[in-house]
Amino acid sequence: MAVTVVGSIAFDAVRTPFGSRERMLGGSAVHFALAASFFDQVRVIGPVGDDFGQREYEVLRSRGVDTSGIEHVEGGRTFFWAGEYGWDLGERETLDTQLGVFADFEPKLSEAARASEVVFLANIQPELQQRVRQQCRAAWFVALDSMNRWIETARDSLIEAISAVDCLLLNDSELRELTREPNLVKAARQIREWGPRFVVAKQGRYGAALVSEEGFFALPAFPLETVVDPTGAGDSFAGGFMGYIASHGDAVDHSVLTRAMAYGTALGSFNVEAFGVERVSRLTPAEISERVSELHRITQFTPA
Amino acid sequence: MAVTVVGSIAFDAVRTPFGSRERMLGGSAVHFALAASFFDQVRVIGPVGDDFGQREYEVLRSRGVDTSGIEHVEGGRTFFWAGEYGWDLGERETLDTQLGVFADFEPKLSEAARASEVVFLANIQPELQQRVRQQCRAAWFVALDSMNRWIETARDSLIEAISAVDCLLLNDSELRELTREPNLVKAARQIREWGPRFVVAKQGRYGAALVSEEGFFALPAFPLETVVDPTGAGDSFAGGFMGYIASHGDAVDHSVLTRAMAYGTALGSFNVEAFGVERVSRLTPAEISERVSELHRITQFTPA
- Structure confidence at residue A205 (pLDDT): 93
- Structure confidence at residue A90 (pLDDT): 83
Q: What is the mean pLDDT of chain B?
A: 96
Answer for the pair A218, B220: CB distance below 8 angstroms, yes or no: yes
> CA A87 to CA B78: how far, in whole Å?
40
- Structure confidence at residue B149 (pLDDT): 94
> CA B35 to CA B235: how far, in whole Å?
8
Q: Which of A13-17, A250-254, B178-182, B256-260 has the lowest mean pLDDT?
A: A250-254
* Digit-coded pLDDT (tens) for B112-167: 999 999 999 999 999 999 999 999 999 999 999 999 999 999 999 999 999 999 99
For range A18-44, the mean pLDDT: 97
* Predicted complex ipTM: 0.93
* Alpha-carbon distances of A43 from A114, A257, A294, rounded to whole Å: 11, 22, 30
Q: Which residue of A has its CA nearest to B218?
A: A299
* Digit-coded pLDDT (tens) for A230-275: 999 999 999 999 999 999 987 889 999 999 999 999 999 999 999 9
B298 burial (CB, 10 Å; 0-12 / 13-18 / 19+) is buried
- Structure confidence at residue B67 (pLDDT): 97
A231 Cβ contact list (under 8 Å, min separation 6): A12, A14, A26, A83, A275, A276
Q: Which residue of B has its CA nearest to A254?
A: B301
For residue B298, give how far its alpha carbon lies from the nearest alpha carbon of chain A (Å).
Answer: 4
- Structure confidence at residue B108 (pLDDT): 86
Instruction: Return the percentage of chain B with pLDDT > 90, whole number.
Output: 95
Nearest residue to B79 (alpha-carbon basis) of B47, B54, B118:
B47
Nearest residue to B65 (alpha-carbon basis) of B281, B256, B238:
B281
pLDDT at A47 over 70: yes
pLDDT at B304 over 80: no
* Digit-coded pLDDT (tens) for B209-264: 999 999 999 999 999 999 999 999 999 999 999 999 999 987 889 999 999 999 99
Q: Which long-range contacts (CB under 8 A, 24 or more apart) does A212-218 make?
A: A212/A254, A212/A257, A214/A254, A215/B297, A215/B298, A216/A185, A216/B223, A216/B298, A217/A254, A217/A257, A217/A258, A217/A261, A217/B298, A217/B299, A217/B301, A218/B207, A218/B220, A218/B223, A218/B298, A218/B299
> CA A98 to CA A103: how far, in whole Å?
9
**What residues of chain B have any CB closer than 8 angstroms to a CB in chain A?**
17, 87-89, 176, 182-186, 203, 205-207, 209, 215-220, 223-227, 255, 258-259, 261-262, 289, 292-293, 296-304
Packing angle, helices A184-194 and A172-179, rounded to 10: 60
Q: Are the Cβ atoms of B298 and A215 closer than 8 angstroms?
A: yes
Q: Model confidence at A161, in pLDDT bands (50, 70, 90)?
A: very high
* Digit-coded pLDDT (tens) for A209-235: 999 999 999 999 999 999 999 999 999
Greatest Cα-to-Cα distance within chain A, rounded to the nearest angstrom: 66
Answer for the pair B244, A301: CB distance below 8 angstroms, yes or no: no
Residues in chain B closer than 8 A to A289 (CB atoms):
303-304
Answer for the pair B272, B233: CB distance below 8 angstroms, yes or no: yes
* Digit-coded pLDDT (tens) for B23-72: 999 999 999 999 999 999 999 999 999 999 999 999 999 999 999 999 99
A102 Cβ contact list (under 8 Å, min separation 6): A8, A47, A79, A124
Q: Which residue of B has its CA nearest to A292?
A: B303
* Digit-coded pLDDT (tens) for B161-172: 999 999 999 999
- Structure confidence at residue B176 (pLDDT): 95
Best to test chain B binding among A88, A171, A206, A296 (most B CBs inside 10 Å): A206
- Structure confidence at residue A241 (pLDDT): 98
Q: Model confidence at A162, in pLDDT bands (50, 70, 90)?
A: very high
Q: What are phi and psi of B225, to 5 degrees?
A: -85, -30
| pTM (predicted TM-score) | 0.95
3-state helix, strand, coil in chain A (%, to 5): 40, 25, 35
Burial B21-52 (b: 16+ CB within 10 A, else e): beebbbbbbbbbbbbbbbbbbbbbbbbbbeeb
> CA B98 to CA B84: how far, in whole Å?
16
Nearest residue to B132 (alpha-carbon basis) of B4, B1, B2, B3:
B4
> CA A143 to CA A150: how far, in whole Å?
16
pLDDT at A74 over 90: yes
Q: Are the Cβ atoms of A227 and B183 closer than 8 angstroms?
A: yes
- Structure confidence at residue A249 (pLDDT): 82
> CA B230 to CA B222: how far, in whole Å?
13
Q: Are the Cβ atoms of A89 and B182 closer than 8 angstroms?
A: yes
Q: What are phi and psi of B63, to 5 degrees?
A: -100, 15
Q: Model confidence at B1, in pLDDT bands (50, 70, 90)?
A: low
Q: What are phi and psi of B290, to 5 degrees?
A: -65, -40
Half-sphere exposure of B133 (CA within 13 A, CB side): 24
**What residues of chain A have any CB closer than 8 angstroms to a CB in chain B?**
17, 87-89, 176, 182-186, 203, 205-207, 209, 215-220, 223-227, 255, 258-259, 261-262, 289, 292-293, 296-304
Nearest residue to B235 (alpha-carbon basis) of B31, B10, B27, B8:
B31
> CA B186 to CA B179: how far, in whole Å?
9
B159 burial (CB, 10 Å; 0-12 / 13-18 / 19+) is middle
Residues in chain B closer than 8 A to A182 (CB atoms):
17, 87-89
Answer for the pair A96, A70: CB distance below 8 angstroms, yes or no: no
Q: Model confidence at B110, in pLDDT bands (50, 70, 90)?
A: very high
Q: Which of A142-146, B85-89, B138-142, B174-178 has the lowest mean pLDDT?
A: B85-89
Q: Are the Cβ atoms of B301 and A258 closer than 8 angstroms?
A: yes
pLDDT at B85 over 90: yes
* Alpha-carbon distances of A146 from A89, A157, A195, A242, B203, rounded to whole Å: 21, 12, 16, 16, 25
Q: Are the Cβ atoms of B227 and A183 closer than 8 angstroms?
A: yes
Length of chain A, in residues:
304
> CA B47 to CA B14: how far, in whole Å?
21
Best to test chain A binding among B291, B300, B302 (most A CBs inside 10 Å): B300
Regarding beta strands B10-16 and B79-85, do their DSSP bridges make them parallel or antiparallel, or are they unpaired? parallel
Residues in chain B closer than 8 A to A302 (CB atoms):
255, 258-259, 296
Three-state SS across chain B? CEEEEECCCEEEEEEECCEEEEEEEECHHHHHHHHHCCCCEEEEEEEECCCCCHHHHHHHHCCCCECCCEEECCCCCCEEEEEEECCCCCCEEEEEEECHHHHHCCCCCCHHHHCCCEEEECCCCHHHHHHHHHHCCCCCEEEEECCHHHHHHCHHHHHHHHHCCCEEEEEHHHHHHHHCCCCHHHHHHHHHHHCCCEEEEECHHHCEEEEECCEEEEECCCCCCCCCCCCCHHHHHHHHHHHHHHCCCCCCCHHHHHHHHHHHHHHHHHHCCCCCCCCHHHCCHHHHHHHHHHHHHCCCCCCC
Q: Model confidence at A290, in pLDDT bands (50, 70, 90)?
A: very high
pLDDT at A25 over 90: yes
Question: How many CB contacts within 8 angstroms connect chain A with chain B?
Answer: 121
Nearest residue to A269 (alpha-carbon basis) of A231, A237, A235:
A237
